[in-house]
């Protein structure tokens, strides 16, 4: 199988296989790890009989492969759960029920997802603009003070943990200067203006950190392109410096930046967890931190899988974009 269709098919199969493998690892690791889930779910004052009952209800005593098989079944065809009195149907793709609230994990995730996506996509636009902009500027002013200052700032940005920058920004902007309110999530569909206004600070916190890598990547790719022969030819033909840097050198930086954006997606999601926790945004990260603190395993596994899905997806999309941006890349 050749061509673009074959490439897409192979990538899809590979992506599905990776996701399946991740689900096995996550499932095994989390359900094998010692820790009395039934006791924690039931609460500290439960009698041994009650704990046993909970363990039975949650199927905690079944062998691991049986439980994983049920989990897969739920994902593909859905599953019925008895919640004491009634039977609840959880349709495919079913990620199980929360140990704590008996809510379907998928619906919990779906209510949280828009918040995280708002945070990450907004921040991504910012970090691409900031990062590539800084990179271009430092190449344009190369050899001068501007370049050295920008390089230093970039390294400092790269070195600062996201929660330190977020904390400092929040204290200065919301606390001391009172330029912005302390962020509170407003749905985009309710009020787009308030949505953006409240997310401004979280976006900046995440983007300032992430943009550093892009600034470095842009700068180095552009410098490399500038050293190539065809640029010298352009100069010989009298093409202006502005056009050389802004068009021809920037084009060389496009593919690496796309690749970096995909590679960085996983770390950006990690940064999003911190940002959400710091600013109290009700996204997936905050849900995960909460689920983790009450050992709500189905929610934990569900969130990890959904995030893994996005990371793997981002990588696959980047491969396609990479090929589009740079025609020399051979699809395999």
Q: Which residues contribute to the site for other proteins (CB under 8 A)? A: 18, 21-22, 25-26, 29-30, 33-35, 135, 142-143, 151, 155-156, 158-164, 167-168, 171, 175, 216-221, 223-224, 226-227, 231-232, 235-236, 266-267, 269-271, 273-274, 277, 288-289, 292-293, 295, 297, 300, 303-304, 307-308, 311-312, 315
Q: What is the CA radius of gyration of the chain?
A: 24
Buried/exposed code over 22-51 (b: 16+ C-beta within 10 A; e: otherwise): bbeebbeebbeeeeebbbbbbeeebeeeeb
Nearer to other proteins, 53 or 263 (CB): 263
Q: Taking a C-beta distance cutoff of 8 angstroms, is the pair 297, 239 a contact?
A: no
Smallest gap from residue 322 Cβ to other proteins (A): 16
Nearer to other proteins, 59 or 235 (CB): 235
Map tokens 């593919």 to a residue.
Answer: 255
Smallest gap from residue 57 Cβ to other proteins (A): 20
Q: Taking a C-beta distance cutoff of 8 angstroms, is the pair 210, 127 a contact?
A: yes
Report CA torsion sign: 322, 323, 326, 331. positive
Smallest gap from residue 162 Cβ to other proteins (A): 8
Nearer to other proteins, 26 or 186 (CB): 26
Cα 68 from Cα 190, distance rounded (Å)? 40
Nearer to other proteins, 199 or 306 (CB): 306
Buried/exposed code over 249-285 (b: 16+ C-beta within 10 A; e: otherwise): bbebbbbbbbbbbbebbbebbebbbbbbbbbebbbbb
Nearer to other proteins, 118 or 296 (CB): 296
Smallest gap from residue 212 Cβ to other proteins (A): 10
Smallest gap from residue 241 Cβ to other proteins (A): 8
Nearer to other proteins, 164 or 196 (CB): 164
Smallest gap from residue 296 Cβ to other proteins (A): 10
Cα 238 from Cα 233, distance rounded (Å)? 9
């Amino acid at each position: 199988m050749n061509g673009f269709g074959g490439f897409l098919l192979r990538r899809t199969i590979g992506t599905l296989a990776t996701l399946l493998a991740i689900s096995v690892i996550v499932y095994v690791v989390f359900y094998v790890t010692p820790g009395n889930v039934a006791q924690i779910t039931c609460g500290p004052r439960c009698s041994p009989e009650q704990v046993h009952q909970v363990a039975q209800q949650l199927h905690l005593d079944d062998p691991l492969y049986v439980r994983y098989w049920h989990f897969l079944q739920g994902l593909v065809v859905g599953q019925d759960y008895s919640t004491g009195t009634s039977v609840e149907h959880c349709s495919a793709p079913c990620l199980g029920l929360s140990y704590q609230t008996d809510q379907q994990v998928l619906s919990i995730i779906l209510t949280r997802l828009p918040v995280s996506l708002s945070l990450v996509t907004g921040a991504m636009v910012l970090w691409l603009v900031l990062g590539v902009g800084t990179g271009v500027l430092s190449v344009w002013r190369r050899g001068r003070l501007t370049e050295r200052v920008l390089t230093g700032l970039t390294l400092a940005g790269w070195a600062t943990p996201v929660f330190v920058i977020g904390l400092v920004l929040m204290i200065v902007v919301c606390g001391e200067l009172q330029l912005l309110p302390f962020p509170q999530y407003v749905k985009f569909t309710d009020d787009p203006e308030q949505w953006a206004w409240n997310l401004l600070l979280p976006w900046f916190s995440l983007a300032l950190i992430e943009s550093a890598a892009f600034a470095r990547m842009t700068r180095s790719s552009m410098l490399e392109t500038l050293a190539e022969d065809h640029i010298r030819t352009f100069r010989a033909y009298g093409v202006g410096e502005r056009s050389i840097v802004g068009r021809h050198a920037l084009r060389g930086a496009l593919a690496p930046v796309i690749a970096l954006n995909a590679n960085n997606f996983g770390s950006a999601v990690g940064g999003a967890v911190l940002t959400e926790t710091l600013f109290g945004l009700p996204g997936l990260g905050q849900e995960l931190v909460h689920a983790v603190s009450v050992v709500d395993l189905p929610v934990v596994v569900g969130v990890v899988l959904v995030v893994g899905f996005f990371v793997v997806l981002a990588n696959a999309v980047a491969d396609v974009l990479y090929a589009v941006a740079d025609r020399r890349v051979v699809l395999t």
